[in-house]
Amino acid sequence: MFHRLARQKESLIEEGHMMADHVHMMISIPPKYAVSQVVGFIKGKSAIYIARTYAGRKRNYVGQHFWARGYFASTVGRDEQVIRDYIRHQEAEDRRVDQLELMP
């Protein structure tokens, strides 16, 4: 679903990983679109899809939110492989950090 939505804005999700409470994505966005426009579109349309598909909603409900209001965006530049590796391995890193926090 995320890939289909990105394509509607001529964008490409090059890397992505879903976590329990957030999503990491590396998206190529053409310069004619603002990052906020593409991210807002993906967040809005995916929230509607998830509500209808998994929550049994027949219509949109005003005042309810699936995604947090904000997002973080950065350019990739020369660090593209670092960003790809971060996205691919973030879940394992989160588990490692959680384990360290449990230690006395």
Per residue in 53-75, pLDDT (tens digit) is 877 766 665 556 777 777 888 77
pLDDT tens digits, residue range 81-94? 888 888 888 777 77
pLDDT value for 77: 75
- With a pLDDT cut of 90, the percent of the chain lying above it is 27
Active site residues: 86
**Assessment of whether the complete model's pTM goes beyond 0.75:** no
Q: Which domains does the chain have, with CATH numbers?
A: 2-102 (3.30.70.1290)
Give 84's contacts (C-beta < 8 A, 6+ positions apart): 14, 15, 26
- With a pLDDT cut of 70, the percent of the chain lying above it is 84
pLDDT value for 54: 77
pLDDT value for 101: 67
| Count of all residues that appear for the chain in the document | 104
Predicted confidence (pLDDT) at residue 23 exceeds the cutoff of 80:
yes
pLDDT value for 37: 94
> Which DSSP letter does residue 15 get?
E
**Distance between terminal CA atoms of the chain?**
42
Taking the C-alpha atoms of residue 95 and residue 91, their distance in angstroms, rounded to an integer, is 6
